[in-house]
Amino acid sequence: MKKEIVIIGGGFAGLNLVRHLADEADMHVTLVDLNNYNFFPPLLYQLATGFLDVSNICYPFRKLFHGKKNISFRLGRLQKVVPEENKVILSIGELSYDYLVLAIGTESNYFGMENIRKGALPMKTVDDAIRMRNYVLQELEEATIATDKAEKKKLATVVIAGGGPTGVEIAGMPAEMRDNILEKDYPELSRRNAEIYLVDGAPALLTSMSEESQKYAYEELVKMGVEVRLNKQVKDYINDTVVFADGETIQTRFLLWTAGVTGKPLDGFPPGSYGRGKRLLVDQHNSVKGTNNIYAVGDACLMTADRNFPEGHPQLAQVALQQGENLAKNIRASFHDKPMKPFAYRDMGSMAIIGRSKAVADLPKPKMHFNGYIAWATWLFVHLFSLITYRNRIKTIYNWAVAYFTKDQSLRMIIRPEVNAVQNRKP
């Protein structure tokens, strides 16, 4: 009989695992996800700022699985894991498994600050990106008719909390929009009144990258007119006011939160199953601590058995992709009573884009840093070919070409899906 493999989460790790288990005659794979599509998180900010369309970075799971007879898809939410019964309870029912793989990713970490959780905009999902685009465009529309100068300035001010790659990449985009688009789309507004702040509690941007990358990113953002505030810890967001630990405040209606992520604790695992950042503790084969047929991959897990990364792996797409592929090989090996291969991460380096023809890249072997146009072109190439289908790549490169040559894009539309009974039935 075929072994039942249930995979929760269709991100980088989960989908790569599914792909490497496709067409295996002795197993049946069921992928469960909250969405019926895969999406490419590194380009969410371009969707949020109107430079890419949803279809550029998304693709339906069921269409991806055409012709894969051993793969099924279920749209639902994981509610509980019952290890002693080898089953999971979903919002749509129950599934039994021989092997369970958790590739559930992370969620935004608000560090217990409830006002920020309620008032800030996160950037983790396609829904978040669409919500942010609608919100920003609506705020600008309100700014065009505001008569009070203080209110107009508040509506046109952007504060981005978090100086990692996501924060840096997002900060560069509205800066370029302010310089090239704002006064054309909104002649009632002046770009001089549109302020963009990038704030972080650390002493440098891109702390996981080289000092050369940190310095270049800081200098280029400042040249682009972004107010970079380091060693500034956000403590609260109340009455349209960002409050810092040192008492300083910034008035804004738009706080974007990219300051951290955390794992998602699941019903069914004891507290001892989790490590730093609420990530599931796994061994060198990605097996969850205290289990023998449950695995966790990608951002959801914390592995300290890799000798090159004794504190755990960085939460990067490449880690997730490699873990998904390695686990697929190990599952196949276990079917044939062969030894499993310990996971060892191959560091592919890191990159961050800052703006038009501006980016940074660090390579580990040989250790190398480069920036500017070459890093920018490399970033475009890597991200373009990381998209899941040729259709995504063609549509994305077309939109990028239009944006590059015109310094503009025509995707800035406010689209508000109607909330109705059908939508309320969403799992």
Out of 24, 169, 176, 195, pick the active-site residue: 169
Please state, in angstroms and as integers, the Cα–Cα distance from residue 285 to each residue in 69, 295, 298, 302, following that order: 27, 8, 12, 12
Angle at CA of residue 353, ends 352 and 354, nearest 5°: 120
Tokens 């705020």 belong to 139
E-assigned strand segments in 263-421: 280-282, 294-296, 301-303, 350-355, 358-363, 368-371
Please state, in angstroms and as integers, the Cα–Cα distance from residue 221 to each residue in 153, 290, 329, 423, following that order: 21, 47, 43, 41
Q: 3-state class of 102 per DSSP?
A: strand
CA distance 377 to 170: 18
- Please tell me the total number of residues recorded for the chain in this structure: 427
169 is catalytic: yes
* 401 in Cβ contact with 65 (< 8 Å): no
Please state, in angstroms and as integers, the Cα–Cα distance from residue 413 to each residue in 18, 49, 131, 180, 402, following that order: 35, 10, 12, 18, 17
Tokens of 187: 């002649």
* 97 in Cβ contact with 83 (< 8 Å): no
For residue 230, what are the contacts with CB-CB under 8 A and spacing of at least 6?
Answer: 163, 199, 200, 202, 203, 204, 205
Tokens of 414: 């406010």
Tokens of 71: 């793969």
- Between strands 368-371 and 358-363, the pairing is antiparallel
Catalytic residues: 169
